[in-house]
Structure 1
Amino acid sequence: MKVDNPNAFRFIMPDELYLLPEDKVAKPNSVAAEPVVASTEPVATTIEPVITPQFVAVTETLQPIKTPDTVFNYLGSNNKSFVILVSYATDEHMPAAHLAALENILKRKELTLDDVAILNVHQYQPLAMARLAGELKPSRLVIMGKDALPQGIGNLPLNNPVQGKKTNVLYSFSFDEMMSSNDNKKAFWEQMKTI
């Protein structure tokens, strides 16, 4: 913007933006000042000292900004609030062979991946049960192996479903334990049918 008269700045911007510190003390008269009337009486004038502004350094302790926890990255859509917790250090969700076995189990229960949420808790350790319940709101929870146990869930019996306040919980074997033992597979399936 081009302005021919610097006094025009007063009408479009606050004084702090365009006046120098020494100009701010002795502000010019406003344009709409009262008219000067000639007087026959002598006028007494006083000169006020110019006050220079004092700058004080303000030190402020900055607090780090806490970013919100990320939402869980799980496999499935959790349409039926059925959460399955697994723990794999080397996979994003779970190995393909274990996923195929789990899909067969779900198919026998007339469920699909869209009905469940498969969460690899290894990525979120330590995982609090309160956070899990708050974000995924499971009505049924299957914990596959001791490494998949969330903090604050308490002691759970192996292969014996427990009904909580809002969630039916089954703590069972991991897929590694089941793949090597038919007895473990049968025990898991018998309890999985009831949950």
Structure 2
Amino acid sequence: MKVDNPQAFRFIMQDEIYLLNKDKEVINTSSSANIPVAETQPVVELPPPVIEQPAAKQTSVTPEPQTPDPLVKTPEPAFNYLGKNNKNFLVLVNYANEEHIVATHLTALESILKRKDLSIDDVAILNVYKYTPLKLATLSEYFKPTRLVIMGKDSLPEGIGNLPLNQPLQGKKTHVLYSFSFDEMMSSNDNKKTFWEHMKTL
């Protein structure tokens, strides 16, 4: 095909076909010159960040002060006794096979108390057999006796010392009589009489 105007090739052919090699170089050079080239920044490697660890707290272990245990009060003994102790009159007896006192002995004691214008409610009759060893301080704390009759050596509490038989003693707070047991009195009228003579003084 004969083309009179070379510019007509542009409409029927691609640029690369009809451009001469020297023309391509000029176009490529000029077009690349118009494209801005990003300046390459030097790569600066940063050291890894240093994370400061908080300094370990030096804690001194101080032992907590020991709080003393609350004082444990020894519970008062629950004495099982006969009477109501209205007049703080304590009678100590000792019977292995009785809860309080032999019935015949109780009758005799009630008769003696009646002569002193006292009743069974005015006294406390304690059988010490179940509670031995029994301390005088424990009895004093619990019964607070102003009069104390000890009937027989087996009824003596600990801490009372050597008491003379049938010789009433007046203490600071308590009038004490250490005398025969009922078994010893029931078989002897003389012992009954002696006991009564001293009971009258209490």
TM-score (norm 2): 0.63
Instruction: Give me the whole-angstrom Cα distance separating, in 2, the residues matched to 1:139 and 1:70.
Output: 20
Q: CA deviation at 1:165?
A: 1.3
Aligned to 1:157: 164
Distance change (3 Å), C-alpha of 1:153 and 1:67: closer
Gaps of 5+ in 2: 1-48, 52-71
Length, aligned pairs only:
133
Secondary structure of 1:107's aligned partner: helix
Among residues 114, 128, 131, which one is paired with 2:138 in the alignment?
131
Q: Is 1:88 equivalent to 2:74 in the alignment? A: no
* 1:144–1:171 CA contact under 8 A, matched in 2: yes
Aligned to 1:117: 124
Distance change (3 Å), C-alpha of 1:128 and 1:108: same
Q: Is 1:192 equivalent to 2:193 in the alignment? A: no
* 1:127–1:150 CA contact under 8 A, matched in 2: yes
For residues 116-170 of structure 1, the C-alpha deviation after alignment (integer angstroms, 9 at most, x for no partner) is 0000011100000000000000000000000000000011111110011110000
Secondary structure of 1:79's aligned partner: coil
TM-score (norm 1): 0.65
Q: Is 1:140 equivalent to 2:147 in the alignment? A: yes
Amino acid at match of 1:177: E
* 2:180–2:195 CA contact under 8 A, matched in 1: yes
Instruction: Give me the whole-angstrom Cα distance separating, in 1, the residues matched to 2:88 and 2:77.
Output: 19
Aligned to 1:77: 84
* 1:71–1:135 CA contact under 8 A, matched in 2: no
Secondary structure of 1:158's aligned partner: coil
Q: CA deviation at 1:71?
A: 1.7
Q: CA deviation at 1:66?
A: 9.5
1:23-42 map, 5 Å: none
Amino acid at match of 1:94: I
Secondary structure of 1:156's aligned partner: coil
Instruction: Give me the whole-angstrom Cα distance separating, in 1, the residues matched to 2:73 and 2:178.
Output: 34
Aligned to 1:174: 181
Distance change (3 Å), C-alpha of 1:80 and 1:67: closer
Among residues 108, 112, 120, which one is paired with 1:105 in the alignment?
112
Q: CA deviation at 1:69?
A: 4.6
Which ranges of 4 or more aligned residues in structure 1 deviate by more than 6 Å?
Answer: none
* 2:76–2:142 CA contact under 8 A, matched in 1: no
Instruction: Give me the whole-angstrom Cα distance separating, in 2, the residues matched to 1:146 and 1:157.
Output: 11
For residues 12-34 of structure 1, the C-alpha deviation after alignment (integer angstroms, 9 at most, x for no partner) is xxxxxxxxxxxxxxxxxxxxxxx
Larger Rg over CA atoms: 2
Amino acid at match of 2:190: D
